Amino acid sequence: MPMENQPATDDVRYQRALAALYCRLNYERTPDAAHSLQDFRLHVMRRVLAELDNPQETLATVHLAGSKGKGSTATMVARIAEAAGYRVGLFTSPHVDCFEERFTVNGVAPSRKQVADLFDQLDNISQTLRQADPAFSLTFFETATALGWMHFQQQQVDLAVVEVGLGGRLDSTNICRPLVTVITSISRDHTRLLGNTLALIAREKAGIIKPGIPVITNVTDPDAAQVTAEIAQQQSAPQFRLGMEFRHQPQLPTSGRPDLPVHYNFDFTGMGVYFRHLQVGMPGEHQTRNGALATAVSLLLRDHGFQLSETAIRQGLLNTHCPLRVEVLQESPLVIVDAAHNPASVAALCETVQQVRAEKRLVIFACSRDKETHVLLSLLNESMDEIWLTRFTNNPRAIEFKELEHLAAKLLTKPWKLFSTPLDAVTAARTSVTPRDLVCFTGSFFLATEAKSILQQRPL
């Protein structure tokens, strides 16, 4: 019989920490709780990090924002530095399987004991601050960000690669002093909070640009590019733009399987180098653009003493694999999960799957109610042979069936069906697809994670 005062095990402490964490205001699960950008604040992060002796100011950092591609680019940068022998912290969001995936070191998540210890330390600081100011509180993402900085400092990483959560200017990651900043792209997403034009969205994302710190961009829209350039000029931040200061040339590989998504190569030119036939570890032509951005970051890090050779760049790009980015779960039939959720990312997915040889391309789609559902459906209607619509069950943000059905009836010209849950759709697919078909789950990170969990237990 256990002693009454016996200390809790690490697993129990971990579960308690997660329970407390998920009770906090979480804009990932309930974005409607944020009425405007005024609900996002940096003074809370500054107070907490000051109590921790500002770990974000002691670590060499690369800071990335963007509408799409920032997670893939961040991971590429981390893998390149790891290939060169460095100890690298990578902060990304959201997580797929477990919370601690958000802050890894050389690809390894912290242990449950480490998470519990970090949370307890942070919670003690929060309680002290709350005694002085009863209104003080940390949101879910602010807590995750602080834990990430704490873990990276304790693990003595050589480099921290940090991805913005939402926007940039007021994101809780924007308290760092990076060596390089990156804006991977600007497209329409989170328009209710960031603005309904690309110029307004660009202004929020360009808020990560720091005085005198070089910024690498792949902003193609003229209005958005003008905003980014103006802010960089105001901050005296040197600009390195894909297509201008450096260029890339995508290439189809000479060999490969036509029944699988294509992994591209690309040439990189500029910034004093010419690299031929760099190979990307993730499929899709769009990943070559992310690879070019990561290569440019690596070249700028050389100016800060990082020994990042061409060999390390090649190996890091090839070693990069991100979950839910055209992730192949099964080959016969070909089953893909992808977290595309805005028009630009869905368009990139469609371009990738159109190159795959298949008798039928079936997409199983669900999305959050704050997305441009009509645009996403229109894009899928152009590229897919059949469209099945559902609602994910693991997050309250799912669009209502009535609205989804209304849009489908109005927009879709391809055969379509409605399914109450992703499990229902998977069950139906088992009896209706052949080994020569392609099945793609997309429209939301939440659908992709739910479908992946179902399919890992029982493939099609």
Q: Can you tell me the mean pLDDT for 301-316?
A: 98
pLDDT of 28 strictly over 70: no
The domains of the chain are located at 40-319, 327-457
Q: Which CATH architecture has domain 40-319?
A: 3-Layer(aba) Sandwich (3.40)
Read off the pLDDT band of 39 (50, 70, 90): low
Query: Identity (one letter) of the amino acid at 24?
Result: R
Q: In what order do the strands lie in the sheet with 61-65?
A: 103-105, 88-91, 159-163, 61-65, 180-183, 215-217, 239-241
Give pLDDT, residue 238.
Answer: 98
Question: In the prediction, which pLDDT does 35 show?
Answer: 47
The answer on pLDDT for 263 being more than 60 is yes
Rounded to an integer, the average pLDDT of 266-278 is: 98
Residue 135 has a pLDDT of: 85
Mean pLDDT of the chain: 93
Predicted confidence band of residue 66 (pLDDT cuts 50, 70, 90) = very high
Q: Are strands 416-418 and 438-442 parallel, antiparallel or unpaired?
A: unpaired
Quote the pLDDT of residue 293: 98
| Per-residue pLDDT, 192 | 60
Average pLDDT over residues 422-430: 97
Of 157, 158, 122, 124, residue with least CA distance to 142: 122
Does position 190 have pLDDT exceeding 70, yes or no? no
State residue 255's pLDDT score. 72
Quote the pLDDT of residue 254: 73
Q: How confident is the model at residue 38 (pLDDT cuts 50, 70, 90)?
A: low
CA distances to 76, 144, 183 from 91, rounded to whole Å, are 13, 9, 16
Distance of CA 3 to the CA centre of its chain: 45
DSSP letter (8 states) at residue 405 = H
Least confident of 6-10, 134-138, 229-233, 393-397: 6-10
Exposed / middle / buried, residue 293 (Cβ in 10 Å: 0-12, 13-18, 19+) = buried
CA atoms 237, 91, 422, 259: torsion sign: positive
Neighbours of 28 (CB within 10 A): 18
Q: What is the pLDDT of residues 109-164, one digit of tens each?
A: 999 999 999 999 999 999 999 999 988 999 999 999 999 999 999 999 999 999 99
pLDDT for 429: 97
How high is the pLDDT of residue 33?
Answer: 54
CATH superfamily ID and name for 327-457: Mur ligase, C-terminal domain (3.90.190.20)
Residue type, 247: R
- Beta-carbon count within 10 A of 362 CB: 23
Q: Are 307 and 317 in contact (CB under 8 A)?
A: no
Residue 3: what pLDDT?
Answer: 46
pTM of the model: 0.94
Reported confidence tier of residue 7, pLDDT bands at 50, 70, 90: confident
Q: What local confidence, expressed as pLDDT, does residue 396 receive?
A: 87
The answer, yes or no, to whether residue 1 has pLDDT greater than 80, is no
Task: Flag whether pLDDT at 295 surpasses 90.
Answer: yes
First and final C-alpha spacing in the chain: 46
Answer yes or no: is pLDDT of 173 > 70: yes
Q: Is the pLDDT of residue 30 over 70?
A: no
CB contact at 8 A, 407 and 436: no
pLDDT in tens, 342-393: 999 999 999 999 999 999 999 999 999 888 999 999 999 999 999 999 999 9
**pLDDT at 188 > cutoff 80:** no
Which stretches of 93-174 are DSSP H helices? Answer: 112-132, 140-154
Tokens of 74: 């961040």
Q: At residue 12, what is the residue type?
A: V
CA separation for the pair 108, 95 (Å, rounded)? 14
What's the mean pLDDT in 332-339? Answer: 97
Coil, strand or helix at 265: strand
Confidence of residue 56 (pLDDT cuts 50, 70, 90): very high
